[in-house]
With several copies, the nearest count.
Chain A
Amino acid sequence: MEGGSEMKVMTIVQAVTDALDIKLAEDPTIVTFGEDVGVEGGVFRVTEGLQKKHGEHRVFDSPLAESGIVGTAVGMAMAGLRPVVEMQFCGFVYPAFNQIISHAARIHNRSRGRYKTPMVIRFPYGGGINALEHHSESMEVLYAHIPGLKVVVPSTPYDAKGLLISAIESDDTIIFMEPKRIYRAIKQEVPEEKFTIPIGKAKVLSEGTDVTVVAYGAMIREAQKALALAKKDGISAELIDLRTIYPIDRETIAQSVKKTGRLVVVHEGPTTFGVAAEISAMVEEDVFQHLEAPVTRVTGFDTIVPLPRGEHHYIISPEKIYYGIQKSVRY
């Protein structure tokens, strides 16, 4: 994909910064803003250094108002800019919900293509960082179910960079959810130059024959640990990183399940009406006759993510995934 590019070790945070930096340098219509995004560089330091480098008109602080942030981005996009906005935490996107569902997702359809909204709404999601309420949720379904949006979740620094560049280059509105739990936990060699990863395509991370495991974001690392446990047990599991939540790459999943006959879906968000439900329904539609066991969901409780002292109850451990794998294989 990127022949001969220099590599650099990056965290997910650095990969996101790098993607923004590259695109800001390359395309003068790109602006990025949000609460504390400018001077401070964001509460997770994702935009650190970018204001100094690209100027105050391109990287800046906004007033504290999420509907204002997304809504002005919609206006900018209609006027020809390509805004990338940051919502500070997953739990603080909701004030912007009307602008997202009624406008960011729909202007192109409403105007029969006259106006586009090439914008990215990025925010950290997920638990595991000992945070207050509203800071730990995984509500990707709320976006993925909305016609007109695409939802992307990277799981590694490499993917974060390549997917974010694709998201910024997309002419559609992209919800870009960053697994904050592993913001700095994973370091990986990433090409220094620009590259893209297609939106809507899952990736088979490791091949296996007994069972397919689908996960994304911070759950990939946990799933990999679970696969190691399973392997010791003689179970050969295939791991698929979904990468995009909508549109789902049903083909890749179907192909895998055709081979393994069994499927475990892992995600942090609530079980009921969760991503696993949709994958379960799709797989049934696509490869019903190959299914040797019901799809197993290893997913969040239908509860609010507890405050830190209770979070271990909620968070999905490698063991719990492994448990799900066993359940599926032994069905």
Chain B
Amino acid sequence: MFKEFSPLEDKLFQVMDKDGEIIAPEWMPEISDERLVKAFKDMLFARTADLMAVSYQRQGRMFTYPPNFGQEAIAGGMAIVMRDQDWLVPAFRELGAWLAKGASLRDIFLYFMGYEEGTVFRGANNMVPIAVPIASQIVHAAGIGYAINYNKKDEVVYAVVGDGGTSEGDFAEGLNFAAVWNAPVVYIVQNNQFAISVPFKKQTRSINIAVKGIAFGVDSIKVDGNDIFAMTKAVQVAHEHASSGKGPVLIEAVTYRRGAHTTSDDPTKYRTKEEEESWACYDPIDRLRKYLVKKNLWDESKEESLISEYKKEVDRQFEAAENYAPYPLEDVFKYLYVDMPDDLKVQKVEHEKFLKWKEGLK
């Protein structure tokens, strides 16, 4: 695959076209009909949750949130391949992958409501917290990969980053360490064409992101990230590659951030309606739906009721998050160290004294 679709020639690995036709059947991944329908439903669920998150935010019920709209097939493909024992090292815009790993939507909402608790992802085995400092997680993935080799475990690390993130020094350092250490890491770059307002062309002069792997001797491929089949196949091959001791893989998943960067962002400042529309027909969910409908695996008329079911579920999770316990003072201090310095204990006690005094003021 890495040879056939050499990023040096800017080849794009694609299995399904925008109308849901399979154009490269020889690369079609093996997925049972059932699993495929589940993948579709999961993507639909993720999108529902994502859109609702944006509207909760607009209602002032949540803080800034980064929409996933249009990027769902990337997580969709990862979800099909990732196993429970595999590691997920997230960036911050791969909701579907978090859910697939076992993170609860309630927790995710908690995070964007302003609770650290929301980035613990207790239900998700071997998933680490969201990484806000761009690309810093790329290095962690290499270290986790080292530990996997060290302990001779059957685990693969999935690490996600954006196109903008590939400009950070940590992207280079992480890939280099992973390669030198032959770490079992699948790096997935969600190239959604923008880093906030900065378009891909201003981010790098390279023809694509996949070629960056060559700098580190890492097998790399540029994949249509809105094509669930191409994503799944690429991730399968990458997973096999990494877990069989051949070292890390870099997947550039070409996609488009259909929404804003975050709910605080206004994309009309830096891109045109036309551009946005030109990508609409590549929507990953629409494409999979077309395929499923053609194969009689999906009945569009059922979708509406399914979505309203999902909405209810999302609301339930959101309300559970809204009803989460208040944030005790203690939690500001409790987790900073395993062995808490006395200083911190004193600061807490002093603050409590102040709070008592303040009560008295009223």
Do A and B originate from a single complex?
Answer: yes
* A111-B169 contact, Cβ under 8 Å, with A75-B144, A310-B331, A313-B327: no
Which residues between 179 and 205 of chain B lie within 8 Å of chain A, taking CB atoms?
180, 195-198, 202-204
Q: How far is the CB of B362 from chain A (nearest CB, A)?
A: 10
Interface residues of A in 78-106 (CB under 8 A from B): 78-81, 83, 91-92, 94-95, 98-99, 102-103
| Measured CA separation A319–B115 after assembly (Å) | 25
User: Could you give, for residues 275-316 of chain B, a 1 whenever the CB lies within 8 Å of some chain A CB and a 0 otherwise?
Assistant: 000000000000000000000000000000000000000000
B170: interface (CB < 8 Å): yes
Query: Does A301 contact B347, Cβ atoms closer than 8 Å?
Result: yes
Q: Check if A112 sits within 8 Å of B332, measured CB to CB.
A: no
- Closest-by-CB residue of B relative to A42 is B197
Report B-chain residues with C-beta under 8 Å of the C-beta of A114.
120, 122
Segment 157-179 of B: residues with Cβ below 8 Å from A: 164-165, 167-170, 173-174, 176-177
**Pairwise interchain contact B143-A64, C-beta atoms closer than 8 A:** no
Q: Is A290 an interface residue (CB 8 A)?
A: no
B143, B264, B358 — most chain A CB neighbours (10 Å)? B143
Report the minimal beta-carbon distance from B249 to chain A, rounded to whole angstroms: 17
- Asked if A272 lies at the interface with its beta carbon under 8 angstroms from chain B, I say yes
Q: By the criterion CB–CB under 8 Å, are A64 and B136 in contact? A: no
Stretch at the interface among B16-24, B75-83, B147-155, B237-245: B147-155
**Size range of the interface on B?**
35 or more
The verdict on A301 contacting B136 (CB below 8 Å), with A170-B339, A306-B327, A309-B115 known, is no
User: Given A71-B139, A171-B338, A303-B332, does the pair A64, B168 have CB atoms closer than 8 Å?
Assistant: yes
B170, B336, B357: the one within 8 Å of A304 (CB)? B336
User: Shortest Cβ distance from B29 into chain A, in angstroms?
Assistant: 29
Specify the chain A residue showing the minimal Cβ separation from B326.
A309
Contacts of B174 in A (CB 8 A): 68, 71-72
B95 to chain A, nearest CB (A): 15
Interface residues of A in 35-67 (CB under 8 A from B): 35-36, 39-41, 43, 57, 61-67
Tell whether, in the assembled complex, residue A91 and residue B134 are in contact, meaning their CB atoms are under 8 Å apart.
no
- Are A68 and B114 CB-contacts (below 8 A) given A40-B270, A63-B203, A110-B119? no
Query: B136 and A39: CB pair below 8 A?
Result: no
A74 and B139 contact, CB distance less than 8 A: yes
Q: Are A98 and B202 in contact (CB under 8 A)?
A: no
For residue B215, CB closer than 8 A to chain A, the reply is: no
Are B195 and A35 neighbours in the complex by a CB distance under 8 Å?
Answer: yes
Q: Is the pair A319, B344 in contact by a Cβ cutoff of 8 Å? A: no
Interface residue? A18 (CB, 8 A): no
Nearest CB on A from B136, distance (A)? 6
Chain A 142-172 near chain B by CB (<8 Å), digits 1 or 0: 0000011010000000000000000000111
A308 to B116, CA, bound (A): 9
Of the stretches A1-9, A126-134, A183-191, the one at the interface is: A126-134
Cβ-closest chain B residue relative to A299 = B347
A202 proximal to B (CB < 8 A): no
A75 → chain B closest CB, angstroms = 2
Write out the residue numbers on chain A whose beta carbons fall within 8 Å of the beta carbon of B89: 75
B31-39, B41-49, B125-133, B224-232: which lies at the interface: B125-133
Interface core residue of A61, A115, A271 (most chain B CB under 10 Å):
A61
- Given contacts A76-B147, A110-B129, A302-B344, is CB(A61)–CB(B198) below 8 Å? yes
- Measured CA separation A52–B357 after assembly (Å): 54
| With A63-B203, A78-B144, A79-B147 as contacts: A111 and B343 at CB distance below 8 Å | no
On whether the beta carbons of B63 and A172 are closer than 8 Å, the reply is no
The interface residues of chain A lying within 8 Å CB-to-CB of B331 are 112, 306, 310
Quick check: is A314 within 8 A (CB to CB) of the other chain? yes
User: Are B196 and A43 in contact, CB atoms less than 8 angstroms apart?
Assistant: yes
Given A75-B147, A313-B329, A132-B177 contact (CB < 8 Å): no
Given A94-B133, A130-B114, A246-B341; A64-B195 close (CB under 8 Å): yes
**Complex contact A309–B134 (CB within 8 A):** no
Known: A67-B170, A308-B63, A310-B332. A172 touches B147 (CB 8 A): no
**In the bound complex, do residue B337 and residue A99 qualify as a contact, i.e. CB atoms below 8 Å apart?**
no
Write out the residue numbers on chain A whose beta carbons fall within 8 Å of the beta carbon of B269.
39-41
Which residues does chain A contribute within 8 Å of B144, judged by CB atoms? 75-76, 78-79
| Residue B351 lies at the interface, judged by CB distance under 8 Å to chain A | yes
Judged by a CB distance under 8 angstroms, whether B141 is at the interface is yes
- Give the chain A neighbours of B119 by CB distance below 8 A: 110-111
A31 an interface residue at 8 Å Cβ cutoff? yes
Q: Give CA–CA (A44, B173) in the complex, Å.
A: 25
Residues 2-37 of A contacting B (Cβ, < 8 Å)? 31, 35-36
Binary flags per residue of A106-119, CB closer than 8 Å to B gives 1, else 0: 01111111111010
The CA-CA distance from A291 to B128 in the complex, in Å, is 49
| Cβ-defined contact, B146 with A40, below 8 A | no
Taking a contact as CB atoms under 8 Å apart, the answer to whether A319 and B361 are in contact is yes
| 15 contacts across the A-B interface (CB closer than 8 A) | A39-B197, A64-B168, A71-B140, A72-B139, A76-B146, A95-B133, A109-B116, A118-B338, A133-B116, A135-B132, A170-B339, A199-B339, A247-B341, A301-B347, A303-B344
List 12 other contacts, CB 8 Å, given A64-B203, A71-B142.
A36-B196, A63-B167, A78-B144, A83-B143, A95-B170, A102-B136, A109-B336, A111-B119, A130-B64, A250-B343, A309-B114, A309-B115
Closest 3 CB pairs of A and B: A75-B143, A71-B139, A308-B114
